[in-house]
């Protein structure tokens, strides 16, 4: 399947959220299986994408600390009002738009069920768009 880095990033996050709340969902077993399989395939790609995103943040941002002595790190971040935020957004969008080929089968829409209340949410369908057919 031809897709983009951004589509993989978004789909992984969507699948992860679905699977974390699967007990409260009305999704058929076959749909759960296919979502779990998609999660497993996307996970390695997602880890590499996040490594690149973290490196970008470390390049353009600064390490933040809980204390003035700078002994307890809160992680890295970019000032939302600073000039590097524009650079980050531009670079991240360029990364997200990079084409990627991934060996994954699309999930038939029917396998995900039709429960409008406890099934997949609209935002999840949007995140998984390229990975669902039907």
For residue 108, which phi and psi values (nearest 5 degrees)? Answer: -65, 135
Q: Domain total for the chain? A: 1
pLDDT at 23: 78
Contact residues for 32 (Cβ-Cβ < 8 A; gap 6+)? 19, 22
Q: Is 46 helix (H, G, I), strand (E, B) or coil?
A: helix
E strand map for 14-58: none
Residue 17 structure tokens:
């959220």
pLDDT band, very low/low/confident/very high, at 119 (cuts 50, 70, 90):
confident
What range does the domain containing 49 cover? Answer: 2-133
Q: Which residues contact 76 (CB under 8 A, 6 or more apart)?
A: 54, 57, 58, 61, 62, 63, 64
Tell me how far CA of residue 77 lies from CA of 15, 25, 56, 96, in angstroms.
26, 35, 10, 19
* pTM assigned to the model: 0.84
Residue-wise pLDDT for 9-42, tens only, equals 999 999 999 998 877 888 899 999 999 999 999 9
């Amino acid at each position: 399947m031809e897709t983009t880095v951004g589509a993989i990033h978004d789909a992984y996050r969507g699948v992860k959220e679905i699977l974390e709340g699967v007990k409260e969902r009305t999704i058929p077993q076959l749909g759960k299986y296919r979502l779990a399989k998609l999660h497993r395939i996307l996970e390695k790609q997602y880890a590499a994408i996040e490594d690149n995103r973290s490196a970008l943040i470390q390049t353009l941002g600064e390490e933040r600390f809980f204390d003035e002595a700078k002994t307890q790190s809160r992680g890295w971040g970019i000032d939302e009002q600073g000039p590097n935020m524009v650079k980050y957004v531009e670079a991240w969008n360029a990364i997200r738009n990079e084409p990627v080929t991934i060996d994954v089968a699309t999930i038939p829409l029917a396998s995900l069920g039709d429960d409008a209340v406890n099934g997949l949410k609209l935002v999840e369908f949007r995140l998984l768009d390229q990975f669902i057919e039907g």
